[in-house]
Structure 1
Amino acid sequence: MHGFTELDTLLGSVPARVVTLLRTVDIGQGSEGLYRNQLPGVLASLARRARVASVTASSEIEGIVVPDQLRAEKIIEGRTMVLRTRSEQELAGYRDALDYLFQSSWQPVNLGLVLHLHRLLFGRTASPGGQFKPHDNVVVDRAADGSTTVRFRPVPAARTEFYMAELIDRFQAAMAAGTHHPVLLIGLFVLDLTIVHPFEDGNGRVARVITNALLADSGYEVVRYVSLEQLIADSADEYYQALLNSTRGWHEHRADPWPWLGYFVATLAEAYRLFGRRAAADRSTGNKQDRVRDYVRRQAPGVFRLADIRQALPGISDPTIRIVLDQLRKDDIVAVDGVGRAATWRRL
């Protein structure tokens, strides 16, 4: 909540680099409506890929890995109900939390929502979720030899609920006022949430999943089509360094939020650049068989049906799709299980 106590002073002078990045973000946001109205099939394809990338990347940041990629995709797509390991359970939990935010009317952000997201993250494990930390915790760096160094001390457990309620109230008031750019306010909210560190485990995942929700709710829906979590995973060192640089002096109200806000806005701007490139590539003017072949090899889930291709590539007939699938099968790129409409295809 400290980021919201002197908001006008804090955000009254935005660094020039961040102003430029915000311009990129807002221009990108303006293009979303065009794609939504004219190329719904392209967006459906991008959203499906981003969902898989978001769940796997956010989990991998925390060391939660399902080595078999095809199995991980099955779990994320809900095509397997038996979860064999703790990692598989937590992978499914992040999927549940992400889907809840993208498919439900959760607004506005509130204390119950934050707890519910945590409950969903751990809902398939034996660990309790949906409860604030019972004991004080610390954020540590772990060296290769196993030794640890305290990086930051979050707020005490006894004060966690107060800090969270205060943060949410101040964030809502700042958003309603409309004085400052919503992306900066969301970035500040995520920073304070991360610093408060309200849970014993799962803080990073709660922060990342709620980032998606707040951005989409403010009209920055690129997070549905490009995985912000993947971009964070690809720049993990910068991510952690930006957070560290903006935590120093937080308890004394002396923290500088701009290292984190600069990283946050730059990551969102990169998401919009990727969105433009990927959307343009997906609507390329290649012939129909080339478009099907490219979709199957680069974009389709590990296991798919003919109907999935039909939905992703509107305007391409079933006979054309079958011709390409048969060619790919002969080239040992895909295999088929079953016949007719019930057939499923999988990449080899």
Structure 2
Amino acid sequence: MRSFVELDTLIGRVPFEVVSDLRVIDTGRGSEALYRDKLPALLTSLAERARVASIEASSAIEGIVVESRERADLILRGEHVSLRDRSEQELAGYRAALDYLYREDWKPLNVGLVLHLHRLLFSYTDVPGGGFKTTENVVVDRLPDGTHVKRFTPVAAARTPWYMEELVGRYTAASREDRHHPVLLVGLFALDLLTIHPFLDGNGRIARALTNALLQDGGYEVTRYVSLESSIAASADTYHEALQGSTAGWHEGAHDPWPWLRYFVEVVRGSYDQFQRATTTARSAGSKQDRVRLYVRRHAPSSFRIADVRAALPGVSDATIRLALDALRAEGAVQVDGTGRSATWHRVG
């Protein structure tokens, strides 16, 4: 909420390097419609891979990891499986929250939506979700030597509902006024949500899930095809340093948003760079067997059938697919269970 009180003063002067990244982001946004028309199968494949990567990465940031690859795949596909432990339960919960935001009817943004996402996040656990914190919390970082240091003090529990209503209302008004770049507004929303820290657990995952949804709502759909959470997980130290740099003085309305916004915009720009590389590679692929090999190595789910490859690569025959898969199997890149059309192929490594 604090970041939206004096918005023109706070982000009225955008640093040059941020302006440069925003130009790249807007150029990438402009090309998304072209790729939807020209490479629909590739985008479908990228979207499924990004969904899986986002669920796993956002969970892993919080230390939630399912060791069994096979069980993780079942959970991520939403198949019926008895969840054995807290990690599996929370992985399933983040899948439910993220999948809800993939629906077209999740809008509009309001406090009820935030609470519903939190309820979904913990829907497979014994932890009651869907309610704001009722006791005070402090955000700490664990140092390499095992000691803990306070990063910041969130909003008091009694004031949290008011701050959340203000945040949603001010973000919505700022978006409607269209005076500032949408990516900057989404970044500020995430910053304030993380600083308010409205829940005892799950704040980071809720913020990252909503970040995806709000970027897409603003027309920046790259997070459908490239996992923003994976980029954050790969730069976790920088992520926390940027947050710490922008939360100092937040309660007094004297914070500097640019450490966080620089980081956030750079991550979004990196997602468009990854998207550009994926689409360029797909368009420049050589023979049909090369296209199959590229798809299997980079875009196919970890387990798939020939019919899945056929659907992703229109115009490539089953015979060509089999030849490419046989070559990949000889290289040790894939394994197969069964024979014929019902055979299931598994990517190795």
Please state which band the TM-score falls in when normalised by the shorter chain: over 0.9
Q: 1:339 deviation in Å?
A: 4.0
2:12 match: 12
Aligned 1:110-149 pairs, distance under 5 A? 110-149=110-149
Distance 1:155 1:225 in 2: 34
Q: 1:193 deviation in Å?
A: 0.3
1:244 match: 244
- Paired AA for residue 83 in structure 1: L
Distance 1:219 1:101 in 2: 15
2:25 match: 25
Normalised TM-score (structure 1): 0.96
CA change 1:247–1:321 in 2 (3 A) is: same
Distance 1:48 1:28 in 2: 20
Q: 1:70 deviation in Å?
A: 4.1
1:336 match: 336
5+ long unaligned stretches in structure 2: none
Distance 2:269 2:186 in 1: 14
- Paired AA for residue 214 in structure 2: L
Work out the number of aligned pairs and report it: 348
1:345 match: 345
Say whether 1:97 aligns with 2:117: no
Distance 1:99 1:77 in 2: 11
Tell whether the 8 Å contact from 1:42 to 1:283 is kept in structure 2 after alignment.
no
Structure 1 residues 62-119: Cα deviation after superposition (integer angstroms, max 9, x where no partner): 1111223343233212245222221111112111111111123111110010011111
Q: Which SS does the other structure have where 1:74 is aligned?
A: helix
Q: How much is the aligned-residue C-alpha RMSD, in angstroms?
A: 1.5
1:53 match: 53
Q: Which SS does the other structure have where 1:105 is aligned?
A: helix
- Paired AA for residue 308 in structure 1: D
- Paired AA for residue 318 in structure 1: D
Tell whether the 8 Å contact from 1:73 to 1:301 is kept in structure 2 after alignment.
no
Bigger shift: 243-252 or 326-335? Answer: 326-335
Distance 2:101 2:110 in 1: 13
CA change 1:18–1:297 in 2 (3 A) is: closer
- Paired AA for residue 2 in structure 1: R
Q: 1:318 deviation in Å?
A: 1.7
CA change 1:123–1:316 in 2 (3 A) is: same
Q: 1:15 deviation in Å?
A: 1.1
Say whether 1:42 aligns with 2:55: no
Tell whether the 8 Å contact from 1:96 to 1:121 is kept in structure 2 after alignment.
yes
Q: 1:207 deviation in Å?
A: 0.3
1:304 match: 304
2:228 match: 228
Q: Percent identity?
A: 61
- Paired AA for residue 286 in structure 1: G
Tell whether the 8 Å contact from 2:74 to 2:81 is kept in structure 1 after alignment.
no
Q: Which SS does the other structure have where 1:90 is aligned?
A: helix
Q: Which SS does the other structure have where 1:150 is aligned?
A: strand
